[in-house]
């Protein structure tokens, strides 16, 4: 499925909220914004529908384009976009909820497993972990739990020097992992971390 983001509906988070189940074509506003093209594959669209999630895509002139995910032995992901201008790549991994999988009762375990899979094994490397505030979880992500990890990725996962992994969990829906890969953090990084959200609804803390 393809969306030509020539002009778009902006949210307060400097992004465009797409529930890809509902958007069927172009969103146009009177004021034009520089065009960029992001093609959303149908299988990724279906994953988003499974977990009731919305993409929040950059609409300003960041030059973002989708790039084909590559298979690696550490952690395969579902979708990715990249901006040469901002020198940032964003990868998306969606894990739908499975009632029989006990790990979903401890989302921090799922997140830690994912982080350890892609982080370097260098003993001198530092991993930082920061809990996402309840305010941000409720207002930005509509998630029940979230954590931000910063670390050096394995070279086979990415040749960038830094990875920030945002992990989000919504009870009964699943987990979403966002990987932000860069050498030098772009000025827009705080906004880019708001790259996805679960559907609006009551969340529990």
- How does pLDDT run across 184-194, given as a tens digit for each residue? 999 999 999 99
pLDDT at 105: 87
Helix (H, G, I), strand (E, B) or coil at 99: coil
Q: What is the pLDDT of residues 32-82, one digit of tens each?
A: 233 457 899 999 999 999 999 999 988 766 789 999 998 888 999 999 999
- Class for domain 2-198, per CATH? alpha beta
Rounded Cα distance between 103 and 98, Å, is 9
């Amino acid at each position: 499925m393809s969306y030509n983001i020539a002009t778009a509906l902006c949210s307060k988070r400097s992004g465009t909220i797409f529930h890809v189940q509902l958007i069927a074509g172009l969103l146009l506003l009177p004021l034009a914004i520089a065009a960029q093209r992001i093609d959303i594959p149908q299988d990724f669209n279906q994953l988003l529908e499974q977990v009731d999630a919305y993409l929040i895509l950059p609409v300003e002139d960041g030059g973002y384009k989708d790039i084909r995910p590559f298979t690696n032995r550490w952690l395969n992901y579902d979708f990715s976009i990249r901006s040469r201008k901002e020198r940032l790549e964003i990868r998306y991994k969606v894990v739908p909820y499975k009632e029989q999988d006990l790990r979903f009762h401890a989302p921090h375990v799922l997140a830690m497993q994912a982080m350890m899979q892609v982080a370097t094994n260098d003993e001198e490397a530092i991993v930082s972990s920061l809990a996402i505030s309840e305010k941000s979880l409720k207002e930005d992500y509509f998630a029940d739990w979230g954590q931000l990890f910063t670390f050096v990725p394995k070279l086979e996962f990415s040749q960038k020097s830094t990875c920030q992994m945002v992990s989000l969990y919504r009870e009964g829906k699943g987990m979403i992992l966002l990987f932000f890969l860069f050498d030098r953090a772009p000025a827009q990084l705080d906004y880019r971390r708001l790259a996805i959200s679960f559907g609006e609804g009551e969340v529990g803390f």
